[in-house]
Amino acid sequence: MVNNLYFQTACMRVFVKNILFFMFIGIIGVSCNNDFDLDPPAPPIPLVYGLLDQSADTQFVKINKSFLVYGNNVDYTAIFDTVMFDNVSARVEETINGNLTNTYYLDELWTNNISNGIFYFVPNSLNDDAKYKLLIDASELDQTISAETELIDGSELDFNYLFKLNLSVNGIQFSDVNLGTIDVYYDSQVKWKTAARGKRYELLMNFKYKEYTTIGTINNKSISWNLSAQKSITTDGGDDMFKNVSGEAFYEMIVSKLNGYANEALVTKRVIEGIEFILSCENEDLNTYMEDNEPATGVVTERPSFTNIEDGIGVFGSKYQVSTSGYLSDGTVLELCKGQLTSGFKFCSDSSNQIISISNLTGGVDVGCQ
């Protein structure tokens, strides 16, 4: 009797195990069944980036599309069909007071080593008083993609007259004419007037020189210094804006750029040529887009994504750029050639007037090129 009960209990255990096994197999079978419909893929989202700049001859717009793939996205960005629409056409319409005055059709730029999706047009001229509407048609989209922008009033954007005059007559002054044990540095102030419809102002300084080498090459060189961006309170234009440029930071910047230069052993001299300031102004839409894409510095890292592309992502804005050039003062050149920070970089001057002037002021110090 006991053995029979034991046998029945054992059989029951086997039966339960078999039931659980087949239930498990059934679940696996249902989970692995591929006979169900997926929702159709969403249409691609246009990615559009364009800036109109009446200070430039050619205007560019980049048009791509979003994509969804399984794997490494970087590998797919190089595949033409992944990032480009099959067939796309674009135009820019110019209107003044609501009246269509010009239509510019964009051509695609086909050049090696240039990323896909760059379109361009060459207008007769862009009008500060006009509005410009970008219209994009693509074969994979049901609607026309559009965006609109106004131009910055380029006639208003200019460096302060006194600054330009001083830059061309006296040169920019970052140091005194004294090679004492304690260097004395000066700050210079760059001034300009804001432009109507301009919001963000970025100042860049280029220090230019010629580099001579032992193998006989002469290369035009420049060291660029980004002096950061400033934003105007309004976009009405006509306000005074300025940037203080540190003399000591100027020399430290040159040291940081030339330290570790791979071909330094080949350099025989660097002939100082001059300095250039480039002022770029961006409109409010472009400024907002750039703010949204700047690295987050606070506790909250999630920020709203800005776009002014209708039924797309990106920005269609405007910018304007002006520049002014000049030379360096005697003290600035002297410090570059013989100063404590930069004397090891073989800077010299080929201006006979400046060489004589510095020699007279210093009692015979020679900054001429050999």
Helix or strand holding residue 29 (H, E): helix 2-31
Cα–Cα distance between 204 and 69 in angstroms, integer? 40
State the architecture of 46-150 in CATH terms: Sandwich (2.60)
pLDDT tens-digit profile, the chain (370 residues): 444 433 344 444 433 344 333 333 343 344 444 544 455 556 788 999 999 999 999 999 999 887 544 444 444 444 444 567 888 899 999 999 999 999 999 999 876 655 678 999 999 999 999 999 999 998 888 889 999 999 999 888 989 988 999 999 899 999 998 887 678 899 999 999 999 999 999 999 999 999 999 999 999 999 999 998 999 999 999 999 999 999 999 999 999 999 999 999 999 999 999 999 999 999 999 999 999 887 665 555 555 689 999 999 999 999 999 999 999 999 999 999 999 999 999 999 999 999 999 999 999 999 999 8
**Dihedral of the alpha carbons of 7, 9, 13, 19, in degrees to the nearest 10:** 100
Report CA torsion sign: 8, 13, 14, 15: positive
Quick check: helix, strand or coil at residue 8? helix
Domain ranges of the chain: 46-150, 158-282+319-362
> Which of 181, 180, 179, 183 lies closest to 365, judged by CA?
179
Contact 219, 210 (CB under 8 A): yes
